[in-house]
Structure 1
Amino acid sequence: MVSFKFIHTADLHLDSQFKGISGLSDGIRSFLRESTFTSLDRLVELAVSEQVDFMVISGDVYDAQDSSLQAQLRFYEALDRLGKHGIGVYVIHGNHDPLDSPRMKTGKREHVHVFGPEFEQVTAYRRQDQRAAAVIGGISYPTAKVIENTSLRFQRDKDNSLFHIALLHANIDGDPAHETYSPCTQQDLIASGYDYWALGHIHKRQILHELPHIVYPGNIQGRSIRETGVKGCYVVQVAEDGGVNMRFHDLDTVRWFHETIPIDSIAGEEAFQTQVEERMQEISRECPGKMSIVRFVLTGRGSLHEKLEEGRIAVELLHELHRRAIRSASEPSGLAGLVWVESFDVRSGPWIDREALLKEDSFLGELLRYGQQAREDMTTRAEVLRSALNPLMANRELRMLLNETDDEECAGWLRRAEEMAVLLLAGEGGGESTDED
């Protein structure tokens, strides 16, 4: 076996829309739209600087609904740049860019291999001397919904001693946050005999297993508040004895954050604004060359909560922060280090002795106990939400919006409902038990 180096990337989603962000200037919006292309450029630059032998792309180069001509042209341009440096590219298509989705026709590139709808294996070669380096197996989605366990088609060629790499776009072990396409288990992958599973579909970077390596690199650019943290790809060095060394490289130009601010010790509006601005400065220092988008999650209990519930403080501060960001973006320094506040998520509550109320034989105590049960037990939570939201399901547009919500959002609704009830009932003496019940 020869030593070699490759890049594992997935979920490029070129030119796809950024979700859940409003109030942007034209300049900032244009920068966001360009960000997936900038990350693609950085991916190519990394491949060249690292002198990798080849690159594997594990699905979702595009979004079918946003598969613009510009996205296709920029991807083909990137492929040509890699080809000029002798870097081979091996690609599968996933649920967002299946083989039957509309795309422009281009000539065949000798250094690029796109796997078809049936499982196949090809040999990848080391760039500098064209010695056989690895066997790469892969399969693309023919249509957007693949519910078959396609991993079972991967079986190592026992007569071939080369390192074996599998390209699969799949949901491993039924991750509930993503569509269950090409469902399989880690044991299915381990049993195949492959040395490295180059996965795509899940946008969170994860190494699920080592020896064999089962790896999600995540996407190269976060596109919503659900895709927080560093985004990029893995550079994988394989030694002559088959040992694997992995290094993660960030590629994103826009980074998303959840930042928590407890209100317990915040005395008033001015102190609240100071806390927010200090956190923004910390984020800017952490990501000096990037644009950052942050959602501030307000937690804890204190006197500030009632004003936050009224909405005025958060709305006015958000408007002012957006005004400053737009002005800053128009200056010569541009968007490097810019922090855009996406929203304030109020999860705080009024000051109460929660532990004491949980023990009380009162309506408020019962409400808090039921709310705690709903947070901890998914069945109870589902029953509460189904009962509360059922009247809205008759409206088609509302039904579509509700079907797009995730468990975190639903849990947030329950938290807010509980806090509003506590605020109303505690103010009316709802936490006091009497002998007249």
Structure 2
Amino acid sequence: MVSFKFIHAADLHLDSQFKGISGLSDNIRAYLRESTFASLERLTELAVRERADFMVISGDVYDAKDASLQAQLRFREALDRLGEHGIGVYVIHGNHDPLDGPRMGTSPKEHVHVFGPEFERVVAYRRQDRRPAAVIGGISYPTAKVTENTSRYFERSKDSSLFHIALLHANVDGDPAHETYSPCTRSDLNAAGYHYWALGHIHKRQILQENPHIVYPGNIQGRSIRETGAKGCYAVQVDEEGNVGLRFHELDTVRWFREELAIGGLESEESFHQMVEARLEAIRRERPGEMSIVRLTVIGRGRLHDRLEEGMAEELLHAFRRQAVQAAEGPGGFRGLVWIESFEIRSGPWIDREALLQEDSFLGELLRYGKRAGQDERIRSELFRGALQPLAANGELRRLLAETGEEERMGWLRRAEEMAVMLLADLGPETEGDKESDAH
């Protein structure tokens, strides 16, 4: 086995429309639409800079079955540049860009292999000396909806001396956030005997398993608030013994964030305005050369809650967006631009929590129990075991619950307390009028 390096990318979704974002100026909307192409350029530059032997793209090159002409031309330009540097490209198509979608006619490129609707294997070569490096197996979606387990078609070649890579666009182990196209399990993939499963379809970057490696690189550019955090691809180094080293590379030019703003203790609109400005500046410092989009979730209880509900949040949203539009038109352009996608109000009116803790009431006892659970791990474990038991019957949910940490579970406890307060705090004693109404 020879050592080699390849790039694993997936879900390019070229020319995505970024629908559902309001208030954008024309130039900001154009910049967003260009972002998937900018990430494609970064992907190409990375492969050249890393001196990769080849690249694999695991489906959804385009965002729609009827891919735009611009998307097809830009992708062809990227392929041409990779070919100029001797970098082979191996592509499968997924549910967004199935093979039956209309495409412009192009001449076959010697360094590019697009897998068809039936499983096939090809040999990839090391760039510098053309020595065989890996066997690549793959299968593309013939139509948009593939509901059978296509991983069962993957077979190893007879040449066991080569590293085996599988390209598959699939939902492994039933991720509930994505359509169950080409559903399969890790057991199915392990049984095929491949060394590396180059997956696509799930936009969240994750290494499901090592030895063999089962890897989702995620998409190269986030396109909605559901796709927060860094987006990019993996550079994969394989040594002479078949050991795999993974290194993630960021490619996104626009990044999505979710941030929480706690209003407890804030007394004025100006203090909230300053809190928002500080949070936007923190994001700007994190990504000074790029654009960011953030959803700000307001939490906690405070005197400002009613003002936010009455329209203050909407007024601030318009003000900050107006500033962003002006900044985008200035000399700095989109460098460090932070756009507020929305304010999500999950806060509540101010209450005297300490007074409630002293009350001889159901809510008071509930809060006292929550406080004890927060301080005593034994009580907390018993509480979670009982509360989460109904979910344990589902295998996927059971796995997700097993992966949650103590900090996340403490967050659940705090949110449950807050919900209890919101539901029960206003249930005061009955007035004489209430009694008379009930009597009638």
Aligned length: 391
Residue 77 of structure 2 corresponds to which residue in structure 1?
77
Which of these residues, 412, 424, 432, is aligned with residue 429 of structure 2?
432
Query: Partner amino acid for 2:428?
Result: G
Query: Partner amino acid for 1:118?
Result: E
Residue 426 of structure 1, CA deviation: 4.8
Q: Deviations over 1:42-98 (max 9, x none)?
A: 100000011100000000001225611000000011101100110000000000000
Query: Partner amino acid for 1:334?
Result: G
Residue 384 of structure 1 corresponds to which residue in structure 2?
none
Query: Partner amino acid for 2:337?
Result: L
Instruction: Give yes or no for contact 2:66–2:102 (8 Å, CA) kept in 1.
Output: no
Residue 155 of structure 1, CA deviation: 2.3
Residue 156 of structure 1, CA deviation: 2.0
Instruction: Give yes or no for contact 1:328–1:334 (8 Å, CA) kept in 2.
Output: yes
Instruction: Give yes or no for contact 2:18–2:32 (8 Å, CA) kept in 1.
Output: yes
Q: How does 1:37-436 map to 2 (within 5 A)?
A: 37-64=37-64, 67-310=67-310, 312-352=311-351, 353=353, 360=361, 422=422, 426=425, 430-432=427-429
* Other structure's SS at 1:261 match: strand
For residues 200 and 143 of structure 2, the distance between their equivalents in structure 1, rounded to whole angstroms, comes to 16
For residues 262 and 191 of structure 1, the distance between their equivalents in structure 2, rounded to whole angstroms, comes to 49
Residue 378 of structure 1, CA deviation: 12
Residue 419 of structure 1, CA deviation: 7.1
Residue 396 of structure 2 corresponds to which residue in structure 1?
none
Residue 6 of structure 1, CA deviation: 0.2
* Other structure's SS at 1:64 match: coil
* Other structure's SS at 1:76 match: helix
Residue 333 of structure 1, CA deviation: 1.3
Distance 1:120 1:296, change over 3 A: same
Distance 1:324 1:378, change over 3 A: farther
Distance 1:138 1:434, change over 3 A: same
Residue 20 of structure 1, CA deviation: 2.4
Alpha carbon RMSD of aligned pairs, Å? 2.9
Distance 1:60 1:358, change over 3 A: farther
Distance 1:177 1:125, change over 3 A: same
* Other structure's SS at 2:74 match: helix
Distance 1:182 1:230, change over 3 A: same
* Other structure's SS at 1:171 match: coil
For residues 80 and 358 of structure 1, the distance between their equivalents in structure 2, rounded to whole angstroms, comes to 73
Instruction: Give yes or no for contact 1:95–1:143 (8 Å, CA) kept in 2.
Output: yes
Q: Deviations over 1:182-208 (max 9, x none)?
A: 000111111111000000000000000
Instruction: Give yes or no for contact 1:232–1:250 (8 Å, CA) kept in 2.
Output: yes
Q: Deviations over 1:385-437 (max 9, x none)?
A: xxxxxxxxxxxxxxxxxxxxxxxxxxxxxx9xx979948x855xx23379989
For residues 95 and 150 of structure 1, the distance between their equivalents in structure 2, rounded to whole angstroms, comes to 13
Residue 233 of structure 1, CA deviation: 0.4
Residue 350 of structure 1, CA deviation: 1.8
Distance 1:137 1:285, change over 3 A: same
Instruction: Give yes or no for contact 2:65–2:102 (8 Å, CA) kept in 1.
Output: no
For residues 358 and 277 of structure 1, the distance between their equivalents in structure 2, rounded to whole angstroms, comes to 38
Residue 124 of structure 1, CA deviation: 0.2
Instruction: Give yes or no for contact 1:172–1:183 (8 Å, CA) kept in 2.
Output: yes
Query: Partner amino acid for 1:126?
Result: R
For residues 232 and 167 of structure 1, the distance between their equivalents in structure 2, rounded to whole angstroms, comes to 17
Q: Deviations over 1:163-192 (max 9, x none)?
A: 000000000100000000000011111111
Residue identity over aligned pairs, in percent, reads 69
For residues 19 and 378 of structure 1, the distance between their equivalents in structure 2, rounded to whole angstroms, comes to 39
* Other structure's SS at 2:301 match: coil
Residue 9 of structure 1, CA deviation: 0.1
Residue 32 of structure 1 corresponds to which residue in structure 2?
32
Residue 152 of structure 1, CA deviation: 1.0
For residues 337 and 159 of structure 1, the distance between their equivalents in structure 2, rounded to whole angstroms, comes to 51
Distance 1:201 1:358, change over 3 A: farther
For residues 253 and 266 of structure 1, the distance between their equivalents in structure 2, rounded to whole angstroms, comes to 34
Gaps (5+ residues) in structure 1? 381-414
Residue 360 of structure 1, CA deviation: 4.1
For residues 109 and 287 of structure 1, the distance between their equivalents in structure 2, rounded to whole angstroms, comes to 38
Query: Partner amino acid for 1:136?
Result: I
TM-score by length of 2: 0.83
For residues 195 and 328 of structure 2, the distance between their equivalents in structure 1, rounded to whole angstroms, comes to 47
Query: Partner amino acid for 2:24?
Result: L
TM-score by length of 1: 0.84
* Other structure's SS at 1:142 match: coil
Residue 351 of structure 1, CA deviation: 2.8
For residues 236 and 254 of structure 1, the distance between their equivalents in structure 2, rounded to whole angstroms, comes to 24
Instruction: Give yes or no for contact 1:349–1:419 (8 Å, CA) kept in 2.
Output: no
For residues 357 and 99 of structure 1, the distance between their equivalents in structure 2, rounded to whole angstroms, comes to 67
Gaps (5+ residues) in structure 2? 371-382, 392-414
